[in-house]
Structure 1
Amino acid sequence: MRLVTCFRAAVRGIAISVLLMAGSPSWADWRSELPTATLVGQGDFTWFGWSVYQARLWSPTATFSWDQPFALELIYRRELSRDTLVQASIDEMRRMGGDAVDEARLTSWDSEMRKAFVDVQPGQRITGLYQPGKGASFYVDGEPQHTVADADFARAFFAIWLDTRTRSPELRRELLGPDKARR
Structure 2
Amino acid sequence: MHRAPLLSLLLACAAAMLPATAVRASTPEPTLALALQGQKPLSTARLRYWGFDVYDARLFVEPGFDAQRYEAQRFGLELSYLRELKGADIAERSIDEMNDLAPIEPGQARRWLEAMGALFPDVQRGDRITGVHVPGSGARFYLNGRLLGEVADEAFSRQFFGIWLSPKTSQPRLREAMLQAPVSSPRAP
Normalised to the residue count of structure 2, the TM-score between the two structures is 0.75
Structure 2 residue 73 is the aligned partner of structure 1 residue 71: no
Structure 2 residue 96 is the aligned partner of structure 1 residue 94: no
Q: Which runs of 5+ in 2 are unaligned?
A: 1-28, 182-189
| Count of residues in Structure 1 that have an aligned counterpart in Structure 2 | 150
Which secondary structure does the structure 2 equivalent of 1:165 belong to? coil
The Cα of 1:115 is off from its aligned counterpart by 2.0
> Which residue pairs with 1:133 in the alignment?
136
CA–CA distance in structure 2, aligned partners of residues 176 and 63 of structure 1: 10
Which secondary structure does the structure 1 equivalent of 2:95 belong to? helix
Deviations 1:103-153 (A, max 9, x none): 000011011101221000000000000001210100011110011110000
> Which residue pairs with 1:31 in the alignment?
33
> Which residue pairs with 2:63 in the alignment?
61
The Cα of 1:169 is off from its aligned counterpart by 0.5
CA–CA distance in structure 1, aligned partners of residues 127 and 61 of structure 2: 21
Which secondary structure does the structure 1 equivalent of 2:126 belong to? coil
> Which residue pairs with 1:23 in the alignment?
none
The Cα of 1:41 is off from its aligned counterpart by 2.5
The Cα of 1:61 is off from its aligned counterpart by 1.6
* Paired residues for 1:4-43 under 5 Å: 28-43=30-45
Normalised to the residue count of structure 1, the TM-score between the two structures is 0.78
CA–CA distance in structure 1, aligned partners of residues 42 and 57 of structure 2: 11
Which secondary structure does the structure 1 equivalent of 2:124 belong to? coil
Give RMSD over aligned pairs: 1.5
CA–CA distance in structure 2, aligned partners of residues 50 and 62 of structure 1: 34
Greater gyration radius? 1
Structure 2 residue 157 is the aligned partner of structure 1 residue 154: yes
Which secondary structure does the structure 2 equivalent of 1:57 belong to? strand
Counterpart residue identity of residue 93, structure 1: M
Does the 8 Å contact 1:38/1:62 carry over to 2? Answer: no
Using the TM superposition, name which of 122-131 and 35-44 deviates more. Answer: 35-44
Taking only the aligned residue pairs, the percentage that are identical comes to 36
> Which residue pairs with 1:4 in the alignment?
none
Q: Which runs of 5+ in 1 are unaligned?
A: 1-26, 179-183
Does the 8 Å contact 2:130/2:141 carry over to 1? Answer: yes
Does the 8 Å contact 1:34/1:60 carry over to 2? Answer: no
Counterpart residue identity of residue 85, structure 1: I
The Cα of 1:38 is off from its aligned counterpart by 0.3
> Which residue pairs with 1:169 in the alignment?
172
Name segments (4+ residues, structure 1) moved above 4 Å: none
Which secondary structure does the structure 1 equivalent of 2:72 belong to? coil
Match 2:85 to one of 64, 76, 80: 80
Structure 2 residue 165 is the aligned partner of structure 1 residue 145: no
Counterpart residue identity of residue 43, structure 2: G
CA–CA distance in structure 1, aligned partners of residues 71 and 110 of structure 2: 25
